[in-house]
Structure 1
Amino acid sequence: MDILEDLYYGNLLPQEKCAKFDDEMKELIGLLNRNEEKLTATLSAEQKETFEKYKDCNREISEICERNAFLNGFRLGARIIIEVVITKKADR
């Protein structure tokens, strides 16, 4: 099976590589969670609801940015391959 077939059949999951966290990332996530717990402990029910909506919007923005970065990187890689192939043919 070639790489395009693997991608089509779901055998390649590039997003999984993004999910592997190094120690620095784990530390930052822990800090983020601790600070969120401290903050939400001080909020009223209405403020907590507003904060949840804020986090949902922020999550959506992050997902859009990650998707766009993936697409742009994939397109750049394809353009590089095309240029390499064209240059190689021109050198012959």
Structure 2
Amino acid sequence: MNKAELIDAIASEAGLSKADAKKALDAFVGATAGALKKGDRISLVGFGSFSVSKREARTGRNPQTGKEIAIAAKNVVRFKAGAELSGAVN
């Protein structure tokens, strides 16, 4: 499912226009990104939680040449599915 299909699904499920559904989705994505950038954790009961983890710098290998390369440290977004979402999928 891509963004346009998700907007269509939100609009039909919630009885909103596509424009309102797009605004709601964009607001959710923006608020989520802002909170994660500050280091906050977002927990949606039954759906799951988003958090940020720090990945340490490490040494990797270029698979073509075998030469070692330095991989910089960075923050990564993690998602852990909630019980209801896991149950719906299984």
- TM-score in terms of structure 1 length: 0.30
Higher strand share: 2
